Amino acid sequence: MTTLPDIVREITRVAPDVVARAATFQAAILADVAGRRGTLHGRVAAVDARMSCAGPAVTVEVRPGDNLAIHAAMALARPGDVLVVDGKGDQTAALMGMLMLSVCKKIGLTGVVVDGAIRDRLELLELGMPVWSVGFNPAGPTKLVPGRINHPISAGGCVVNPGDLIVGDADGVVVIERAKAPAMMDLAAGKMADEAKRLKDIHAGKTESKWLPAALRAAGMLKD
């Protein structure tokens, strides 16, 4: 039996053209066409509602309150990647702050998602690096405990594999499996068109939902 090393340096990423198309859609649209699954828990929220990102995942697993593996992952990440950190939802110490996130921006990462705490909130608002986290804590992390890089992780209750498509915005973060992502793009475009038509109808006063009677009957709430 072959075991993976703790640090996996080479991964297969979702294709750049798929990332470019995904960046034009809301996370909510992609979550809907992906079967209403793959979204991180709402505790993982954007530092600023105006932030958005799309890119392939570089995954990191750390012990609560220790960020040694995050530093190593940053050194391996490529421009366009999204760093996704399984910090176990811990809020007792910040895993990242202004200095590390400035490095992330400088090397060209498109986003950072931390299932854990970060710090330096006001400076991060000025920095403009798209970041999602569970919250903030002024305490700094240790750099002592081994972690894993580019292994499957659980972040915000969602499985994230290295190279998966990550899309984040004001509503939160959605993960779409790398192999599944290309097929979702046309579905997302179709849903966008449908919603645009529905909104146009609403503005014209056509507020009824044609699907509602059948759904009520199927649920036993309305008799024929």
Q: Give the predicted TM-score (pTM) of the model.
A: 0.94
DSSP of 62-84, one letter per residue? Answer: --TTB-HHHHHHHHH--TT-EEE
pLDDT per residue as tens, the chain (224 positions):
567 899 999 999 999 999 999 999 999 999 999 999 999 999 999 999 999 999 999 999 999 999 999 999 999 999 999 999 999 999 999 999 999 999 999 999 999 999 999 999 999 999 999 999 999 999 999 999 999 999 999 999 999 999 999 999 999 999 999 999 999 999 999 999 999 999 898 999 999 988 889 998 999 998 87
Angle between helices 68-76 and 98-106 (to 10 degrees): 10
Task: Give the whole-angstrom CA distance, residue 63 versus residue 84.
Answer: 14
Does the structural domain 16-179 have CATH classification 3.50.30.40? yes
Task: Give the whole-angstrom CA distance, residue 185 versus residue 2.
Answer: 35
Phi first, then psi: what are they for 168, rounded to 5°?
-130, 145
Task: Give the whole-angstrom CA distance, residue 24 versus residue 30.
Answer: 10
Domain locations along the chain: 16-179, 187-218
